[in-house]
Amino acid sequence: MRLRAKNARAASTGERTLDSRPVTEASQTQGETTLAERLVGGDKRALARAITLIESDDPLGWDLVREVYPRTGRARIIGFTGPPGVGKSTLIGALTKELRAADRQIAVLSIDPSSPFTRGALLGDRIRLSEHFLDPGVFIRSMASRGALGGLSEAALQVALVMDAAGKDDVLIETVGVGQAEIDIVDHADTIVLALMPGSGDSIQALKAGVMEIPDVIVVNKADHPMTDTMIREVRGVLALADDPGGWKVPILRTEAARGEGVAALAEQIDLHREFIESEGTLESRRARNLRSEVLGIATSRMRRRLEETIAGDARVQDLLEQVVRREIDPASAASQLLEHGDHED
C-alpha cells in the first residue's frame, strides 16, 4: 500500500497543503510528503489508505484524523436511509451524476452493519455506481467492519471526516442494513434523505410511531409503480402530524432513480435544505449536537472497554455475576457494586 512519491508530490502541489506543523509519528513520512498532506491535497489513494487505517483500528488512523480535523467541516454530509431494495444505491448513483455535472467532488460511503462479508459484493452489485468508478471526482468506499472504538457508527464518522478533509464537496453516506446502527449513522448527517417506495408501509409506521426521526427530504422512489400516489398521500398524512410551523417543510419527491427522473429536484431540495439550515443557524446547532454525541459515544465505548479489562478474570466480579444468576442480587445493585469495586481499584 505504499504510495509512490511521484504521485504524492503531484498531489501535494495543490492549494490545500498542510501548514508546517511538526511532523508527528502519525504523519508517516513517505518520501517528501506525509499521508496527512497527501490526503488534504486530495490524493485518492491517500484517502483510501486513511480509511483502511481507521477501519483496522490502527493508531495511525486516529493520529491522522487528529491532524486533519481542523481542516474539516466544509463538506456537506448527506445521509440516505430507507429499507433495503427501495433504490438508495441507484438514487445515489443518479444523484452523483447530477452533482458531478455541477463539478462537485463526491465521496460515497456505503455502510452495511449487518454483513461483514459482502464488501466485494457491495461494491460490485449493490452500489449502482459503476459508471462513476473511473471518474477521479468520485470516491466510493464501502464499510462493513466495526472499525475502531467499538462502533461502526463512530468509525464511519471518522471516515466521513477524512473524506471531508480530502476536499470532497459532498459526502453521501448510505446505510444498507437495517436497525439502530443505520439510524445512528444517518443522524450525524447535515441533511437526511429517507427513501421509500410504494408499499414500504413499515417505514410509514416507524415514522408515525416516532421510532424514526422525521427526515429532511423524503423520496418516494419507483414512482413508475401504480401505488405511488397512495404512498405519497400516506407520507403527507404522517408529516401533517409532525408539522413544525416556521420550520423546514419536508418535501416529498417522486423519483425514478433507475431512469434519473426527479433526481435534479432531489439535488435542488438538498441545496435548499442546506440554505435553510445555514440561514436558521440549525446547521451549527445540529453539528454541535452530533459532535457532542460523537464524543460521548467514543468515551462510552472506551469506558466500557476499560471496565471490561478491569474486571476480566476478577473472581469477586465472577462471584457477583453468579449471585445475580441465582437471583440473590438484582442486576442494578450488582452494577453499583461493580462500579464501586472499579473505583476502589483505581
Check binding of 221 to ligand GDP (CB under 6 A). Answer: yes
Count of residues of this chain found to bind ligand GDP when the rule CB under 6 A is applied: 15
Residue with Cβ nearer ligand GDP (33 or 90):
90
Decide: residue 145, CB within 10 A, 0-12 exposed, 13-18 middle, 19+ buried. middle
Work out the widest C-alpha separation in the chain, in whole angstroms. 68
Beta carbon of residue 146, minimum distance to ligand GDP (angstroms, whole number): 21
Beta carbon of residue 257, minimum distance to ligand GDP (angstroms, whole number): 4
Stretch that binds ligand GDP, among 25-33, 37-45, 79-87, 99-107 (CB under 6 A): 79-87
- Per CB under 6 A, the list member of 148, 256, 269, 297 interacting with ligand GDP is 256
Check binding of 198 to ligand GDP (CB under 6 A). Answer: no
Residue with Cβ nearer ligand GDP (129 or 152):
129
Check binding of 147 to ligand GDP (CB under 6 A). Answer: no
Residue with Cβ nearer ligand GDP (12 or 89):
89
Residue with Cβ nearer ligand GDP (83 or 251):
83
Beta carbon of residue 225, minimum distance to ligand GDP (angstroms, whole number): 7
Site for ligand GDP, residues 222 to 251, rule: CB under 6 A: 222, 224
Site for ligand GDP, residues 4 to 63, rule: CB under 6 A: none
Residue with Cβ nearer ligand GDP (88 or 132):
88
**Residue closest to 38 by CA, chosen among 14, 70, 69:** 14
Beta carbon of residue 224, minimum distance to ligand GDP (angstroms, whole number): 5
- Per CB under 6 A, the list member of 84, 199, 251, 342 interacting with ligand GDP is 84
Beta carbon of residue 270, minimum distance to ligand GDP (angstroms, whole number): 18
Check binding of 257 to ligand GDP (CB under 6 A). Answer: yes
- 290 vs 10: CA distance, rounded Å: 35
Stretch that binds ligand GDP, among 130-138, 205-213, 255-263, 302-310 (CB under 6 A): 255-263
- 175 vs 79: CA distance, rounded Å: 8
Stretch that binds ligand GDP, among 9-17, 80-88, 145-153, 269-277 (CB under 6 A): 80-88
Site for ligand GDP, residues 88 to 127, rule: CB under 6 A: 88-90, 126
**Residue closest to 79 by CA, chosen among 165, 157, 167, 146:** 157
Beta carbon of residue 120, minimum distance to ligand GDP (angstroms, whole number): 16
Beta carbon of residue 288, minimum distance to ligand GDP (angstroms, whole number): 31
**Cα angle value 51/53/54 (rounded, 5°):** 65
Q: And the C-alpha cell for 180?
A: 439502530
Beta carbon of residue 152, minimum distance to ligand GDP (angstroms, whole number): 18
Site for ligand GDP, residues 125 to 144, rule: CB under 6 A: 126, 128
> By the criterion CB under 6 A, which residues form the site for ligand GDP?
84-90, 126, 128, 221-222, 224, 256-258
